Structure 1
Amino acid sequence: MGLMTKAALAAAVSAYAISAAPALAQEWQPDRPINIIVPWGAGGSTDQVTRVTAPIISEALGQPIVVVNQPGASGAVGTQEVLNAPKDGYTWTANAIANNATYTVTGLIPDTKIDDWHIYLSVANVPVVSVPADSEFKDFNELLAAFKERGTEITVGTAGVTSSGGMAIAGLGHEGDFEYRMVAYDGGGPAAIATASGEAMVTTQLAVEQAELIRGGRLRALAVLSDQPLQIEGADPIPPITDFLPDFPIAADYFGIFIPNGVPEEVVTTMNRIWEEKVMNSDALREYAEKNGAVFAPSYGEEARKRAMPVVIEEACSAEERGTMVNDPSTIGIDCDTKSEM
């Protein structure tokens, strides 16, 4: 699954109108700490951006927000924990929205879909194909030729099958007509570090998980899954995947915080206000995005759902095309014949 580059996506984001101010309702005043379960390991893309946004919300609510890493089954273990928790407003999750929306298609969580969540998006992220600094592969064409010739001899470090990196290499394998051997880690950060250390030959995790390693010369970035080059602060521009695979599909991959349906109305109304007033104007979040090759793109509610659906549809239908689905995308309301909602 590919992504827009920062400049292209930022232009698209600016074209959207900001959601209208929430309707007046009783303000929520939590009386104890709130848990955000990050269903991936520490240091990955979800963990990073959640630890930037959590203090903003905590200050506004006047209660601590505890970020809990609970990896397993490509994010499904922690996500299921949130779905099973009491709907009292004190247990949230964070992830890429395409994961939460398609876990049923991949068979990792039964009977769940995008509308099981109140959606609060923060940034859009982009996968990057990188190799260790001392790798034999100097550019993506060399790597692509090796994949075609050596197949499963080439190991790819990711955070799991349904992670952004896992979906990225699946898309590359499909479009490039090659096989590979995935090595799964507890998060995108650990996968990138392991690849830099030589445990895997390639990683396809997100730019934000690789930025420091690329800047530090431990990873060599070969291509960004975008149709435009990507600039990471302190590093050379990364060429777009469309230079090598012109028909590679592009869709923006949004990350954020999600609150399960069924919580009291005042929880959602208060969170909507905080997101609009604080997160959507956060210098800390903007600086994080600009430094790490992400796109500052906060939204919530119906606007967030609208932005999320293209990547949800792309991932659900890609699973069908690649033969990795367990349940048909129609079970979550997606028609892959038309690439639209049913």
Structure 2
Amino acid sequence: MNRFSAWLLAAAGICTMLPGPGAAQSFRQPIRVVVPQAAGGGTDIVARLLAPGLSRELGQTVVVENKPGASGQIGTQQVKSSPADGFTILFAVDHSLIIVPLTTPGVRYNVEKDFVPLGQAVRTYWALSVPASAPYKDFREYVTALKRDPLARTYGVPLAGGATDVIGQAIGKHAGVQTVPVPYSGSGPVIQAVMGGQVPVGLTGLPEAMAVYRSGKAKVIAISGNARSPLLPEVPTFGELGVGGLEFHTFLGFFAPKGLPPAMAQAFNAALRKTLGDPAVLDKIRQMSLEPAPTTLEEAGREVDEASRFWTKSLAPKG
């Protein structure tokens, strides 16, 4: 073997040890999933449920970190400012990503400009609950009460603005009266107020409403969405009851900073969908009164686009 041939073999050996284009786009260190809500809440619980499966499928440790504050802005902004290298991922509810920037001045992120959707995990709906002792047993009787009794026109909400305002205003318009939201510090306090008769009705996520519905301490009389929930098939949608424009749902999904390599986005999405196919994971999701929502990258992106258009129109100043 001459020197030139030996040099070529040595060079080839060195090249095989160097990372190729695909290696630079793989998950090669622990992944940090930022949840912009407090520990112990629904978003946090789902993130921690999915983390072991994602870790197994991606071959890396997945660590969940809570960065709550300012309706999800703090954690969301932190992920936006992180490198688009796949090692910092956001797991958030659509409210903090889509609605908060539309309703809160000074928010420094935009879901379509600053993030890449990696896939949805679960979805749920908004539920209208009344005390078990309420004089109205269904939505139509509640609307009758709204028309004749001003005291029935307040409703408890877990947050100010966004979906709850849209629902409350639509109910008021349907009844021909002015409804008044009463903000609480979360869905738990709203449900407690409903059970205690402190508010005539409450708007919360379906999981919180289901907990007291099963106990018999409150009744669910309507839900958002374009079809009845399989978790509560006996309860009609607002649309069925004649209140239009409330066909939306709420979703929890994963997002990366804009610029994430497509190969990494595909790998994460595949891992997520496989994790959501695990029977044990599915069983726990359904026990939480949530619906599993595995999506492709294209489906996730399309739903974000549709939600952004819907809320931009719905929350635009009237007049």
| TM-score over 0.5 (shorter chain) | yes
Q: Matched residues in 2 for 1:67 and 1:281: separation?
A: 24
Deviation of the 1:175 alpha carbon: 4.6
Q: Matched residues in 2 for 1:239 and 1:98: separation?
A: 24
Q: Which residue of 1 aligns with 2:256?
A: 259
CA-to-partner distance for each residue in 1:117-170, whole Å, 9 max, x for gaps?
A: 222201221111101222333221232233344557643222213454454334
Q: Matched residues in 2 for 1:152 and 1:254: separation?
A: 33
Q: Matched residues in 2 for 1:58 and 1:191: separation?
A: 36
CA-to-partner distance for each residue in 1:157-203, whole Å, 9 max, x for gaps?
A: 22213454454334434554433332333433443344334443322
Q: Which residue of 1 aligns with 2:218?
A: 219
Q: Which residue of 2 aligns with 1:76?
A: 73
Q: Matched residues in 2 for 1:200 and 1:284: separation?
A: 38
Describe the shift of the 1:102–1:299 C-alpha distance in structure 2 as closer, same or farther (beyond 3 A): same
Q: Which residue of 1 aligns with 2:61?
A: 63
Q: Which residue of 1 aligns with 2:142?
A: 143
Moved more, 165-174 or 220-229: 165-174
Deviation of the 1:280 alpha carbon: 4.1
TM-score, normalisation: structure 2: 0.75
2:316 is the counterpart of 1:316: no
Q: Matched residues in 1 for 2:290 and 2:171: separation?
A: 21
Q: Matched residues in 2 for 1:140 and 1:223: separation?
A: 7
Q: Matched residues in 2 for 1:284 and 1:316: separation?
A: 37
Amino acid in structure 2 at the alignment position of 1:66: V
TM-score, normalisation: structure 1: 0.71
Q: Matched residues in 2 for 1:62 and 1:91: separation?
A: 13
Deviation of the 1:50 alpha carbon: 2.7
Describe the shift of the 1:270–1:248 C-alpha distance in structure 2 as closer, same or farther (beyond 3 A): closer
Q: Which residue of 2 aligns with 1:106?
A: 103
CA-to-partner distance for each residue in 1:202-257, whole Å, 9 max, x for gaps?
A: 2221212222221111221111224544343xx77212223422534423433212
Q: Matched residues in 2 for 1:112 and 1:168: separation?
A: 24
Q: How does 1:216-255 map to 2 (within 5 A)?
A: 216-232=215-231, 237-255=234-252
How many aligned residue pairs are there?
A: 295
Q: Given that residues 147 and 178 in structure 1 are in contact (C-alpha distance below 8 angstroms), is that contact kept between their aligned partners in structure 2? A: yes
Amino acid in structure 1 at the alignment position of 2:102: V
Query: Percent identity among equivalent residues?
Result: 22
Moved more, 309-318 or 93-102: 93-102
Q: Which residue of 2 aligns with 1:3?
A: none
Q: Matched residues in 2 for 1:89 and 1:251: separation?
A: 30
CA-to-partner distance for each residue in 1:283-323, whole Å, 9 max, x for gaps?
A: 24432454455432211422211133333322221111657
Q: Matched residues in 1 for 2:177 and 2:127: separation?
A: 18
Alpha carbon RMSD of aligned pairs, Å?
3.4
Gaps (5+ residues) in structure 1? 1-22, 324-342
Describe the shift of the 1:229–1:43 C-alpha distance in structure 2 as closer, same or farther (beyond 3 A): same
Q: Matched residues in 1 for 2:242 and 2:36: separation?
A: 33
Gaps (5+ residues) in structure 2? 1-20
Q: Which residue of 1 aligns with 2:181?
A: 182
Q: Given that residues 147 and 179 in structure 1 are in contact (C-alpha distance below 8 angstroms), is that contact kept between their aligned partners in structure 2? A: no
Describe the shift of the 1:214–1:267 C-alpha distance in structure 2 as closer, same or farther (beyond 3 A): same
